[in-house]
A and B are shown apart, each in its own frame.
Chain A
């Protein structure tokens, strides 16, 4: 057997598996459609493989086998996610409202798959070239039925917006140029001697831009800064859509911090939090007092890693420089009537009054009616969750063995029921 034989065999077996999975029952059609798309792509790749034979150029055969193997590694996890989207631990009540929201902010033909994943942090797969228009969101399995954490999906949808609205527009080029210009200016103004010490190939400042090897020295800082900008943008999207509830759910998931060295693709935690507080002020959202005290920074890389430390410093500087623009960009992209802004003051008071109205419905253990949007329900839910005396006089709750736990369970059910009512109202008004 040659590598080409193995490669073909692997492709055929993968396609067989996809075919088997297509026979399953799915709660919504997008899961099955994703399987069809994946099948089409790998079938086409197999057809390309059929062109290869003993006369073919060995390097071409090798590249074809290598890319097939890489693609299988990348796409197999999607099959798993699609299967787990059928799991009953998912709160299927969330699906339609989140799909509606996704289509409003990302694109009206977007396809959504939500799954319970065995990863601690929510995640998203998108911009998958072979699954155009699909957004795959994974929520932590032990929380995938918890409606209080729905706002975290806002961050994941932010990635979808970035992919659709920024990467596909001139904004991407503009951000990239600003990042690159900031990094180059920062090196030349503040770090030239240190930089040349670490990268002796850079003999003069012009080498940073005009020399092929010179460019390679700082390229990682540019990649990291752009990724950091994306993460900040996603936080702003989650905040702008879900208001205070985004801040609470983020603290629920992340505070104070997990141990370890910070990933280079994220700003450190306190930078994220302070940027969120700044965005909240701009969006007319009241951040909880002392919110930043709930968090701590992750450790920076070991100073002995001198290259990484300097490049990360450059990346951090470039992404911080764009925070104000990213806050405005998220706000401007989300300025639609379906996602009401909390400004001017009258609008903020109207939203607040609606949240209080839903809160009062919850006090009567009644699902909300005419809630208007998902954010209002979740903000009322968080208000009830955080109010210690909520339902404290309700005999059916206070007489339970563990009233707090019982309250939480009933509240989550009530939020999910309210979301169902909202969806019913949306469907009947369409």
Chain B
């Protein structure tokens, strides 16, 4: 997963809609959820024999996802990178298991994460675009 992925905001928003449908008891599709989960899961190297795990996310993506975790209050706030990585992995596992049996409060938390991710990803892309010099007469 990369913060600059152009489809990340839309994908996260669609995943939120699927979670919302489950929260309302009418969920069926997990198409966007699966794609988002797979991106999150591909962002970690599997744990090796040493038990170490390394994030494959670049630093901007890690910040983006970390902020989404903070604003959706998935876990108590922490600034420790290792703890943040644990949270990301945990949320990826929960997203993967979403179905009719998922507890309502879990659905709400996950939905909050997805909406925050959509907003943060769009804001990040916008901030990158704002660095491009625009035309002096353009308003």
User: Which A residues are within 8 Å of any B CB, using their own CB?
Assistant: 45, 48, 51-52, 55-57, 59-60, 62-64, 66-68, 70-71, 74, 127-130, 173, 176, 180, 209-216, 218-219, 222-223, 226, 260, 263-265
Contacts and interface: CB of A to CB of B under 8 A. Distances in A.
A105 B62 CA distance: 32
Given A212-B78, A215-B62, A63 B119 contact: yes
B79 interface: yes
A226 to B, nearest CB: 8
Given A60-B115, A223-B60, 10 more contacts: A51-B17, A51-B21, A57-B111, A62-B115, A63-B118, A64-B17, A67-B10, A67-B13, A173-B56, A211-B81
Contact of A66 (B20, B111, B118, B131): B118
Contacts of A45: 10, 14
Nearest to B124: A223
A64 B118 CA distance: 9
Given A59-B115, A67-B122, A128-B6, A219 B60 contact: yes
A129 B63 contact: no
A212 B81 contact: yes
B80 interface: yes
B84 interface: yes
Dominant secondary structure at the B interface? helix
B33 interface: no
Interface in B47-104: 56, 58-60, 62-63, 66, 78-82, 84
B112 A59 contact: yes
B118 to A, nearest CB: 4
Nearest to A260: B133
B23 interface: yes
Contacts of B58: 176, 222-223, 226
24 contacts: A48-B13, A48-B32, A51-B20, A55-B24, A59-B112, A60-B115, A63-B119, A64-B13, A64-B16, A67-B9, A67-B10, A68-B10, A71-B10, A176-B58, A211-B80, A212-B79, A212-B81, A212-B84, A214-B79, A215-B81, A219-B59, A223-B58, A223-B60, A265-B132
A176 B55 CA distance: 12
Contacts of A180: 59
B28 to A, nearest CB: 10
A288 B88 CA distance: 53
B122 A129 contact: no
A210 B13 CA distance: 30
Contact of A67 (B19, B59, B118, B131): B118
Contacts of B112: 59
Nearest to B23: A57
A41 B19 CA distance: 20
A38 B5 CA distance: 17
Nearest to A180: B59
A56 B81 CA distance: 34
Contacts of A222: 58-60
Interface string B120-139: 00100110100111000000
Nearest to B19: A60
Contact of B6 (A127, A211, A216): A127
Contacts of A212: 63, 66, 78-81, 84
A265 B131 contact: yes
A414 B98 CA distance: 64
Nearest to A218: B59
B12 interface: yes
Nearest to B21: A51
A103 B56 CA distance: 30
B27 to A, nearest CB: 10
Given A48-B17, A57-B20, A70 B59 contact: no
Nearest to B9: A67
A59 B110 CA distance: 12
A45 B14 CA distance: 8
Given A219-B63, A223-B60, A265-B131, A60 B16 contact: yes
B58 to A, nearest CB: 5
B17 A52 contact: yes
A56 B24 contact: yes
B6 A209 contact: no
A214 B84 CA distance: 13
Nearest to B25: A55
A419 B79 CA distance: 59
Contacts of A70: 9-10, 122, 125-126
B89 to A, nearest CB: 16
